[in-house]
């Protein structure tokens, strides 16, 4: 069975170079940018990103002519990974699948705040990513609702906002964040 295609998947594929050496550099730049943005926010140094990736600044600019291009590519790549994760957990029981995907979404939100804040909500890339995220994760909630294990009076957007709000809070450590998320998800689960 093949994984479903989402608009963000097409965006990611169209931006990634085809030559192996260029694709390797591109992937290294995305990974370095992801780490730099998580550590230093949207103002992370492009020179530092290139250094972390083991490439010259010219290679960075060849792949990402503007800082915004880099933000968009990191964001799209991460949303694409979330979409793939939805397909990976889909075979689990309905509640477990939903929680497993939401755990990945929470981890994504913690590290992507700087990149997300740098994007315009009306941009084509943001809209494609949002639509893809809903298309990937929404069916997991619907399936859990049909199975009677998740509240029927909520929408997928409600759930994403709840998790995003939780991840926006400062925690002592990841264990505390996970505990608070589990408490919140208890409110989503129907009583047994």
pLDDT tens string for the chain (192 positions)? 345 567 777 777 777 777 888 889 999 999 999 889 888 888 889 999 999 999 999 999 999 998 888 888 888 888 889 999 999 999 999 999 999 999 999 888 866 666 666 666 667 777 888 888 899 999 999 999 999 999 999 999 999 999 988 888 888 988 998 899 999 999 999 977
CA of residue 97 relative to chain centroid, distance: 17
State residue 2's pLDDT score: 47
Query: How far is the C-alpha of 88 from the C-alpha of 122, rounded, in Å?
Result: 29
State residue 137's pLDDT score: 94
Q: Which residues contact 132 (CB under 8 A, 6 or more apart)?
A: 6, 7, 8, 9, 79, 80, 83
State residue 14's pLDDT score: 73
Q: Return the structure tokens found at 128.
A: 């494609």
Q: Can you spell out the DSSP letters for 139-153?
A: HHHHHHHHTTSB-TT
Q: Return the structure tokens found at 47.
A: 């020179």
Q: Where are the alpha helices (DSSP H) in the chain?
A: 7-15, 20-40, 46-53, 57-63, 67-89, 94-117, 124-146, 156-167, 174-186
DSSP state at residue 120: -
Q: How many CB atoms within 10 Å of residue 154?
A: 14
């Amino acid at each position: 069975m093949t994984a479903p295609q989402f608009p963000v998947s097409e965006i990611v594929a169209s931006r990634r170079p085809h030559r192996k050496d260029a694709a390797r550099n591109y992937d290294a730049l995305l990974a370095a940018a992801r780490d730099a943005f998580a550590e230093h926010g949207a103002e992370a140094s492009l020179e530092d990103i290139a250094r972390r990736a083991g490439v010259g600044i010219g290679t960075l600019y060849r792949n990402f002519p503007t800082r915004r291009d880099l933000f968009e590519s990191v964001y799209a790549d991460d949303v694409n990974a979330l979409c793939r994760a939805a397909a990976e957990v889909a075979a689990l029981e309905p509640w477990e699948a939903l929680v497993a995907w939401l755990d990945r979404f929470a981890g994504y939100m913690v590290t992507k705040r700087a990149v997300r804040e740098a994007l315009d909500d009306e941009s084509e890339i943001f809209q494609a990513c949002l639509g893809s995220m809903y298309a990937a994760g929404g069916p997991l909630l619907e399936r859990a609702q049909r199975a009677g294990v998740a509240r029927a009076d909520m929408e997928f957007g409600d759930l994403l906002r709840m998790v995003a709000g939780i991840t926006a809070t400062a925690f002592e450590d990841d264990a505390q964040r996970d505990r608070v998320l589990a408490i919140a998800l208890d409110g989503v689960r129907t009583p047994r």
